[in-house]
Structure 1
Amino acid sequence: MSVLPDPFAAFSLEGRVALVTGAGKGIGRAAALALAQAGAQVIAVARTGTDLAELAAEAPAGRVEGWEMDATAPAFLDRIRALPGLDILVNNLGINRPLPFTEVPVETLDAMLSVNVRTTFLVSQVAVDAMRRGGRGGAVIQVSSQMGHVGSPRRTVYCMTKHALEGLTKAMAVELAPEGIRVNSVCPTFIETPLTAPMLADHSFREFVQSRIPLGRVGRVGEVAPAILFLASPAASLITGAALMVDGGWTAQ
């Protein structure tokens, strides 16, 4: 009888280099910590240096390198181009400005398309080139949303951008599979983060959200980070082009 491999060893990221955007707070911060705790050397990208310093202090010693910069800027892409290699990318940038469909100004439309779609595309391009330089394949995890699979009032632009991200994920997965580069998305429901705090502070909106989630509550960043770790790890070696729903059952209805 064959012996099953150690299931926990399959989650080890020892010797791997990971890049996490939007790592200063929320899901990105939790993901950076999880990857570092699994043994990866993590490049954490955020605009605020104090956030990065706190993250590095909480992570295992020497595991987090902070890049204090704007991940939408050309200089960020140039810095990735200078890397000798890369194993994991967690694309965690995203903004949301909920408005009724007919009241969305073109400035809001352009801003959300730029951050949620254009920047994700461009960062993925240069990160994949870095993975090729490293010669070990890689894993790209797009932090998408349940809104990439359903529609919702006042979120036409957000839903549009996340549906685009899901399409990008699938197309990248098919094209890059022969090179051993896996591409997947994680699709959370409403999670308690600084981004969602103003929305969830509205009692009626929070009740609406919880009524749509069969598990009856919003999520925590600590419930999304393990999904990201799984998809980044060898435990997910046969998974690509998939969307992992972390949505409490919202999209199952």
Structure 2
Amino acid sequence: MDVPGFALITGAASGIGQACALAFASEGAAGLALFDLNLEALSNVKLEIENVLAEKGISKHCQIELRAVNVSNEDEVNFTVREVARKFGRLDYVVNAAGIAMKHPGGAAYVETSDWQRILNVNLTGSFFVLRAAARVMLQQNPILSNIDGRPLQRGAIVNIGSIQAVAGIPASTAYSTSKHGILGLTRTASEDYAKDGLRINVICPGYTETPLTSQPEVLKVMKEKVASSVPMQRMGSPREIADGILYLAGGRSSFVTGTALFVDGGYTQR
């Protein structure tokens, strides 16, 4: 996947973020900064990474930094991103995987303002805070070199996490769908800002995926119904399948790709 540099992953304690952490380490990343609210769960992810690398006989050391971070806290994000960038010496890849979801019984007319604000604060504003802090670091550093052919690749690569709900409306998902439409807009405008500077910004849009976020009973019930009726592949995706797409967008294999939305959804959006 050509990801020899240093990666920062939010929401890294579970689901897609955890799968990304394992994938970056397995593919030869020099270091990982793992952000989540749950520091204990992050410690378990770090142990899992070390065990996987040992089992695969990968001797290259991967430096792992764990931070308890609330991505909706602007000052906390700014400080911690700068801190890990100083520790690593640079920051090459960012994955904005932190996110929350909620169904709103009765639809938009019955959404609680507090629920709306919480989902937008984490999913959209939190992603913006991390993107902004990381971009300020990346724009000041030299391009990383490919570990395959030595060519200059990029000053940095940021991958935001969208959703099929970035382009499709789903019942009772007012705040979540709005946040993911916003992620698509954030990605497209930011990528336009910095394409000429060697900072690539893309978004991956997963379909129905088996994660702790989607295992909530009220969410899972709707998902199973949708998978049966609307997903051509007739199954849910795995976090590792989403992580593979993210590593492609972050690494040297996609050196001429920016501002793109990659849908990894079993064919849902082809219809």
TM-score w.r.t. the length of structure 2 is 0.84
Q: Residue 101 of structure 2: which of 96, 103, 107 is its match? A: 96
Is the contact made by 1:86 and 1:138 (CA closer than 8 Å) also made in structure 2? yes
User: Deviation digits for residues 225-253 of structure 1, max 9, x if unmatched?
Assistant: 10011111100001100011011111110
> Which amino acid is 2:45 matched to?
L
Q: Structure 1 unaligned runs (5+)? A: 1-10
Is the contact made by 2:205 and 2:263 (CA closer than 8 Å) also made in structure 1? yes
| Residue aligning to 1:57 | 47
> Which amino acid is 2:118 matched to?
A
Q: Residue 196 of structure 1: which of 214, 229, 247 is its match? A: 214
What aligned pairs does 1:1-253 form with structure 2 within 5 A after superposition? 11-14=1-4, 16-40=5-29, 41-59=31-49, 60=53, 62-73=62-73, 74-82=75-83, 83-84=85-86, 85-99=90-104, 100-136=107-143, 137-199=155-217, 203=221, 205-253=223-271
Structure 1 residue 134, shift from structure 2 partner: 2.5
Is the contact made by 1:210 and 1:218 (CA closer than 8 Å) also made in structure 2? no
Decide which moves more: 126-135 or 219-228: 126-135
2:216 is paired with a residue whose SS is helix
2:263 is paired with a residue whose SS is strand
| Residue aligning to 2:56 | none
Structure 1 residue 147, shift from structure 2 partner: 0.4
Is the contact made by 1:30 and 1:221 (CA closer than 8 Å) also made in structure 2? yes
Counterpart-to-counterpart distance in 1, 2:267 and 2:237: 11
Structure 1 residue 200, shift from structure 2 partner: 6.8
Distance 1:204 1:131, change over 3 A: closer
Counterpart-to-counterpart distance in 2, 1:30 and 1:63: 17
Counterpart-to-counterpart distance in 2, 1:50 and 1:172: 33
Decide which moves more: 41-50 or 23-32: 41-50
> Which amino acid is 1:108 matched to?
D
Counterpart-to-counterpart distance in 1, 2:246 and 2:65: 19
Q: Structure 2 unaligned runs (5+)? A: 54-60, 144-154
| Residue aligning to 2:149 | none
Counterpart-to-counterpart distance in 1, 2:198 and 2:222: 46
Counterpart-to-counterpart distance in 2, 1:57 and 1:201: 30
Counterpart-to-counterpart distance in 1, 2:122 and 2:69: 15
Counterpart-to-counterpart distance in 2, 1:42 and 1:242: 24
Structure 1 residue 58, shift from structure 2 partner: 2.0
Structure 1 residue 201, shift from structure 2 partner: 7.3
Counterpart-to-counterpart distance in 1, 2:72 and 2:28: 28
1:214 is paired with a residue whose SS is coil
Percentage of identical aligned residues: 32
Is the contact made by 1:92 and 1:142 (CA closer than 8 Å) also made in structure 2? yes
Decide which moves more: 63-72 or 107-116: 63-72
2:65 is paired with a residue whose SS is strand
Q: Which runs of 4+ in 1 moved over 3 A?
A: 60-63, 199-205
Counterpart-to-counterpart distance in 2, 1:184 and 1:79: 23
Is the contact made by 1:138 and 1:181 (CA closer than 8 Å) also made in structure 2? yes
TM-score w.r.t. the length of structure 1 is 0.90
Counterpart-to-counterpart distance in 2, 1:126 and 1:76: 7
